[in-house]
Structure 1
């Protein structure tokens, strides 16, 4: 995809802003923001200010089409230079549930120097089940692959509203099954397959892990859940605390849910809201990363606590000074990259 000139100019402005002395960055961002006992990181506050100035938003007035386009170009603004020491191979995943030719597109990322029978992460991108793609999260997949020293299989699952629930959830399980069955062909060890994603992708990863474990047979050995959506049936305090002003808004969440799980879908169904599952025992260990300034914060942390209560080993890590989607901002400042590196290290340890 060629990058339009306006996007290139915006990217240069963002890079220039983050190269300024700290005092100048603080002057642009404004006075420190303290909420719920947390101080927003300057890196996060500055990007929020730049987004407001440029009228950037997750959901744009034109609806699905413009919002998808904005997400695709967003990584050029905040994702940083492409990590070149990662080989890329395009794949097709057979899926009986997939429309069209019955296949899902996927990209396999392999870090330089990685031997055969490595660990592998099956990764699902965020975007509210409506926007986002492998391309929009290419920098995230490359970063996780390189930092964790594992292969990453990034999956192009079907998006709503064209394909509402359970299409994406079915695709997630099909992709996980493919990785488990074809691990050798992917250069991976079938005993070291993890599942993960960010935001809506974290939701799909949690749902796929639950379904794989409950049916019996092959299942992932680890879950990497970054600020996951886990319960669309309950409104928790963080939803109101951070309803507006921190990029992902409460209104955005309603818009995404209305397209992914419209009536008569029961949003308390564990396929939509994995926190509502009656039984969480036997699930693989998990790393759950949440952001302090995120309307999804409380439901992500509630899922981590529910897993612990069910006897599942969980590392819950709140990044109190960051916003939703922090893994997408690894190309600017240092806090976003630092937080995402922590998640990658958890993955590395789990699959080494």
Structure 2
């Protein structure tokens, strides 16, 4: 995870940094990084090189890690998009009300994306992913409902999953109030949020509640048991580290016996037949890359309509790097273009 020792002055420094000529930025980024046949995006490489010059921090407790992400999100978010309306509200969780935020763009269609933020089920909130939700709403022309599900370790698994299921069913039940078509409600999220979205899609079949129109899984964590080669290839120096993965896993599932349950590890479900269409994106420099690819393949084998997009030059978390030009910006455009087509 990017370090948190970024002041407001340092955050503002990104604008002139990326205003430098491309050739200068390439020199500052350093020699190209090539692993497993992929070349790392030089714009992200430059960000990580600048970040490496700052004093480091070590994860100690959840509260500190949450503050770290809130600080870093301000650095990488760019300029938030203006929308017709952004409203804070509450939705139903598994045990009481949850905070949520509804994003309504100008000229919105009738589609809705129920969105669950990433952060290893431990960090992240409505604010850390505010810029991303704004961009999705504005460019896809759909409403976005971002849900502030309960976090571990205070609320370990499967609390977040049950909150996600309850929030999605609430959105379907309140489609008229949200001014959306109940048949055009998708579920999605990034990283741990992608995990929750996959769980919602699976449980819509298992528990027989309305199925999402689309499941949008952005570099999802879908297996808390197995380990694949990408964990070794990219477990250091590319935003999400092996240390991070284990720290998040242990906070979310302190009881290892729960990890094989599909409500925690959707890749391990016995059957994926009958699930809604899926958009799965993976990143070439992501330790979670291989499990995302495996889940896309397993869904396709089960007869599910799958669109798998691989952004080979990017790391985990790249949809939040909205201050950066280049491949990260292109990946976000690809995402919103697909959502606009699927949910209109």
Taking structure 2 as the reference length, what is the TM-score of the superposition? 0.96
Residues 138-287 of structure 1: pairs in structure 2 closer than 5 A: 138-287=130-279
Residues 284-299 of structure 1: pairs in structure 2 closer than 5 A: 284-299=276-291
1:105 match? 99
Write the distance in 2 (CA, Å) between the matches of 1:46 and 1:129: 28
1:74 match? 72
2:116 match? 124
Residues 44-59 of structure 1: pairs in structure 2 closer than 5 A: 44-55=44-55
Write the distance in 2 (CA, Å) between the matches of 1:29 and 1:114: 39
Of 226-235 and 339-348, deviating more is: 339-348
Counterpart pick for 2:89 among 88, 91, 97: 91
Deviations 1:36-57 (A, max 9, x none): 0000011111111122112466
2:108 match? 114
CA RMSD of aligned residues (A): 1.5
Write the distance in 2 (CA, Å) between the matches of 1:143 and 1:334: 16
Contact 1:180 1:219 in 2 (8 A): no
The runs of 5 or more residues in structure 2 that have no matched partner are none
Write the distance in 1 (CA, Å) between the matches of 2:53 and 2:196: 33
Contact 2:14 2:323 in 1 (8 A): no
Contact 2:107 2:141 in 1 (8 A): no
Write the distance in 1 (CA, Å) between the matches of 2:65 and 2:50: 18
Contact 2:129 2:320 in 1 (8 A): yes
Task: Indicate yes or no: 2:28 matched with 1:34.
Answer: no
Decide whether aligned partners of structure 1 residues 82 and 149 sit closer, same or farther in structure 2, where only a CA change above 3 A counts.
same
For 1:212, what is the secondary structure of its paired residue? helix
1:16 match? 16
Contact 1:200 1:229 in 2 (8 A): yes
Runs (4 or more) in structure 1 with deviation over 3 Å come to none
Number of residues of Structure 1 aligned to a counterpart in Structure 2: 341
Displacement of 1:264 in angstroms is: 4.4
Decide whether aligned partners of structure 1 residues 6 and 253 sit closer, same or farther in structure 2, where only a CA change above 3 A counts.
closer
Taking structure 1 as the reference length, what is the TM-score of the superposition? 0.94
Deviations 1:320-340 (A, max 9, x none): 000000100012223212101
For 2:124, what is the secondary structure of its paired residue? coil
Deviations 1:119-163 (A, max 9, x none): 000000000000000110000100111111110000000000000
Deviations 1:89-118 (A, max 9, x none): 1111123x33xxx10010000001225xx1
Write the distance in 2 (CA, Å) between the matches of 1:65 and 1:52: 23
For 2:53, what is the secondary structure of its paired residue? helix
Task: Indicate yes or no: 2:336 matched with 1:336.
Answer: no
Of 229-238 and 82-91, deviating more is: 82-91
2:7 match? 7
For 2:145, what is the secondary structure of its paired residue? strand
Decide whether aligned partners of structure 1 residues 55 and 349 sit closer, same or farther in structure 2, where only a CA change above 3 A counts.
farther
Deviations 1:162-195 (A, max 9, x none): 0000110000001100111101100110010000
Displacement of 1:62 in angstroms is: 3.3
Contact 2:89 2:101 in 1 (8 A): yes
